[in-house]
Amino acid sequence: MKKRIWLTFDLSIYSDYEGMYYWLDTMKAKECGDSSATFSFEYNGDLISELTEAIKSNVKLEKKDRIYVMFRNDNGKLKGSFIIGKRKNAPWAEFSLVSGDDIEEE
């Protein structure tokens, strides 16, 4: 089977960028912005485990590296998950908080 994959990666400063770029090149991935790519991935049964194994066997990952993938499931719904690492607080968190007038009562 074959699926279109959208992949984003957040690698640490000492990570294996060369390995990641080489692997993406072998996948004929198209660039989708900084640290983002899309490509078709051929797999036999379990898309997520096979994709994770393909990356791990080609890229030396560090403890804080993160890779997020998105794809359409068999029902056509868009799915996404971290296959390496996990979600963290967004840099824009709490930017929209509006401070109200603090009234002190005596």
**pLDDT tens-digit readout, 51-87:** 999 999 999 999 999 999 999 998 999 999 999 999 9
Q: Report residue 39's pLDDT band, with 50, 70 and 90 as the boundaries.
A: very high
Q: For residue 89, is it within any domain?
A: no
In a domain, 28, yes or no: yes
Residue 75 domain-assigned?
A: yes
Q: Identify the domain containing residue 59 by its residue range.
A: 2-84
CA atoms within 13 A on the CB side of 98: 2
Mean pLDDT on 24-41: 97
- 41 to 8, 31, 86, 90: CA distances (angstroms): 15, 15, 22, 29
pLDDT for the residue 93 = 84
Residue 99 lies in a domain: no
pLDDT at 98: 63
* Residue 43 confidence (pLDDT): 97
Based on the structure, what is the number of domains in the chain?
1
How far apart are the C-alpha atoms of 83 and 51, rounded to whole Å? 9
Q: Which of these, 91, 90, 43, lies nearest to 71 by C-alpha position?
A: 43
Within-domain flag for 27: yes
Please check whether residue 44 lies inside any domain of the structure.
yes
The residue behind tokens 């560090």 is 62
End-to-end CA distance of the chain: 70
Q: What six digits make up the tokens of 38? A: 């899309």
| CATH classification at residue 9 | 3.30.70.240
User: 36 pairs with which residues across the strands?
Assistant: 8
